[in-house]
Amino acid sequence: MEPKRSRSDLMPGFGVTSERSSHPLEKVGRFRIEGELVVIYLEGVGSFLVKKVQVVSVVLGLCDEIIRDRVEGEVGVMSLSDSGRGLRKGILGEQYVGLVQRVKRVLEGKEGKWAVFGVTE
């Protein structure tokens, strides 16, 4: 019977290295539920509103919804990512995302807020 060989025996000179690249997402704010509204707080930018029922529609993949500022002006759009795992927000020409899994937990009352990440290129 032949002795068992390790991976390093099978691939001489092969080494595994890992490089850490900069993450394309940066935490820039948070979401909270206030009554029947979801409020998006963005550091240095302001706060924006979406009705809770509208966020549910987006999470379910039914439609995209308008994001408004505090005086009801349209400032962007909320949509579901192609994978269905992220909640995208285009606000004032910038792109932001949050995890759908966390959004659901907040909508269910299991958590109080969730993070908003800015998409950096």
> What digits encode the pLDDT tens for the residues 62-88?
999 999 998 889 999 999 999 999 999
- Report yes or no on 3 lying in a domain: no
- Report yes or no on 63 lying in a domain: yes
- Report yes or no on 31 lying in a domain: yes
pLDDT tier for residue 17 given thresholds of 50, 70 and 90: very low
* Chain CA centroid to CA 31, Å: 11
- Report yes or no on 17 lying in a domain: no
Number of domains in the chain: 1
118, two tokens: 């800015």
Q: H helices then E strands: how many in the chain?
A: 3, 8
Q: Can you tell me the distance from the alpha carbon of 38 to that of 11, in angstroms, rounded to the nearest whole number? A: 54
Q: Identify the residue with better confidence: 31 or 25.
A: 31
Domain that holds residue 99: 22-119
> At residue 113, what is the residue type?
K
- Report yes or no on 12 lying in a domain: no
User: pTM here?
Assistant: 0.75
Dihedral pair phi/psi, residue 92, rounded to 5°: 50, 40
For range 86-94, the mean pLDDT: 94
